[in-house]
């Protein structure tokens, strides 16, 4: 038996092609959901970015503050070190030069630490070394000052010793100058006395010379028998007999006197033969030596005495004028001449 169809009952399970506005609403809701999700994501992203930027800004600000404090601390330490080192100057040039070298080194170290601070490197260790270096420099300066003090003390002592020595030297020089002046005066006085004595001695010496007179020369021919005969021709003469008379001289004591006889031939040559008694004596007045021909001696008794000396050279004489000089005690006391034909 068949069931009858009911056309008024609703049908379920198939698409509703008859309601397009419902689909549009669904699409709008979907798009709105997506937009809200995007906006929510963007908001979350922006919030996270802002948070990170805030953190970074905070870190940067903190870093800048730390750098600023580090620079300030470094400047304080540097200025303090410079001030302390500058206060040590003025003692001497060597110490000042040493301090200037230390200041240059500190400035170099400061520049290195500033670079480390700007580059965010570890500068604390270098800062500590900077402080230690300052203390080391100050210790070196104190050591130098101590050494300088010792040297100054020694120099003061040496200066005192030099002053004492200088004073002693001046006193010694003054004393030596006085002694030298006195000695010079004594030497001058002695020289004057010696000069006066020499003059006086020379006067006495001159006064003691016995002058002679009546000088005669007899030219003779000596025969084989020994007998002598006067000759005037040079070719015939063998010997010269030179005689003279002494004058009185009360200054001279009695005793033997020696007279030096010089015979000069017509050519100006002195007749002399060493083996026959010729020699050299001193002419005190002329202060030079002279050659003598022979000598004659006598026993002088302060009066007139006849004295003779002979010269027989064993050779021929030349003709012409001969001159004769008589010396006593080194002084010329008489002259004469003779001729041979």
Q: Is it true that domain 211-340 has CATH number 2.60.40.10?
A: yes
Helices 124-208 & 93-118 angle (0-180, nearest 10): 160
Structure-derived torsion over alpha carbons of residues 317, 323, 327, 332, reported in degrees to the nearest 10: -160
pLDDT value of residue 295: 94
**pLDDT at 240 (0 to 100):** 92
What are the φ/ψ torsions at residue 62 (nearest 5 degrees)?
A: -65, -40
pLDDT of residue 309: 93
What are residue 239's phi and psi, to 5 degrees?
-145, 150
Reading the chain (341 residues) residue by residue, the pLDDT tens digits are 444 444 444 444 444 545 667 778 888 888 888 888 888 888 788 777 776 766 565 556 656 787 788 888 878 878 888 888 888 888 788 878 888 888 888 888 878 888 888 887 777 887 788 888 878 888 888 888 777 776 677 778 778 888 887 888 788 788 877 887 888 887 877 867 776 776 656 667 788 899 999 999 999 988 888 788 888 888 889 899 999 999 999 888 899 999 999 999 999 999 999 988 899 999 999 999 999 999 999 999 988 999 999 998 888 899 999 999 999 999 999 999 999 99
Distance set, CA 53 to CA 40, 60, 68, 276 (Å): 20, 10, 22, 148
pTM: 0.46
pLDDT on residue 90: 80
Residue with tokens 């010729």: 278
CA atoms of 321 and 205, how far apart (whole Å): 32
Distance of CA 92 to CAs 139, 152, 170, 197, Å? 17, 11, 32, 69
The DSSP secondary-structure symbol of 270 reads B
Distance CA 204, CA 257 (A): 16
Nearest-angstrom CA–CA distance, 215 and 246: 10
DSSP 275: G
In whole angstroms, what is the distance from residue 329 CA to residue 257 CA?
Answer: 9
Q: Which residues of 60-69 are buried (b: 16+ CB within 10 A; e: fewer)?
A: eeeeeeeeee
Q: Which residue has the tokens 């040493």?
A: 98
Q: How many residues are recorded in the chain?
A: 341
Do 311 and 294 touch, CB atoms closer than 8 A? yes
């Amino acid at each position: 038996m068949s069931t009858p169809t009911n056309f008024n009952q609703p049908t379920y399970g198939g698409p509703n092609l008859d309601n397009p506005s419902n689909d549009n609403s669904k699409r709008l809701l979907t798009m709105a959901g997506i937009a809200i999700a995007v906006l929510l994501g963007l908001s979350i992203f922006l919030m996270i970015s802002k948070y990170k930027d805030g953190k970074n800004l905070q870190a940067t600000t903190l870093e800048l503050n730390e750098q600023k404090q580090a620079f300030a601390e470094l400047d304080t330490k540097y200025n303090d070190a410079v001030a302390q080192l500058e206060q040590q100057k003025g003692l001497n040039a060597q110490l000042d030069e040493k301090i200037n070298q230390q200041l240059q080194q500190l400035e170099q170290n400061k520049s290195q630490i500033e670079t480390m601070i700007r580059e965010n490197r570890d500068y604390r260790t270098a800062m500590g070394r900077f402080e230690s270096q300052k203390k080391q420099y100050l210790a070196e300066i104190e050591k130098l000052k101590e050494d300088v003090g010792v040297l100054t003390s020694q120099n003061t002592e040496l200066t005192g010793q030099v002053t004492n020595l200088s004073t002693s030297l001046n006193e010694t020089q003054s004393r030596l100058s006085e002694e030298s002046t006195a000695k010079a005066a004594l030497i001058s006085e002695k020289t004057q006395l010696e000069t006066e004595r020499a003059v006086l001695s020379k006067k006495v010496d001159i006064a003691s010379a016995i002058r002679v007179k009546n000088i005669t020369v007899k030219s003779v021919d000596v025969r084989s028998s020994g007998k002598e005969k006067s000759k005037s021709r040079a070719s015939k003469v063998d010997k010269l007999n030179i005689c003279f008379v002494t004058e009185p001289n009360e200054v001279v004591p009695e005793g033997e006197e020696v007279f030096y006889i010089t015979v000069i031939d017509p050519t100006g040559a002195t007749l002399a033969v060493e083996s026959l008694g010729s020699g050299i004596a001193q002419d005190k007045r002329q202060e030079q030596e002279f050659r003598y021909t022979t000598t004659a001696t006598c026993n002088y008794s302060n009066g007139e005495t006849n004295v003779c000396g002979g010269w027989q050279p064993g050779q021929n004489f030349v003709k012409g004028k001969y001159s004769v000089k008589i010396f006593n005690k080194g002084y010329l006391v008489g002259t004469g001449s003779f001729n041979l034909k």
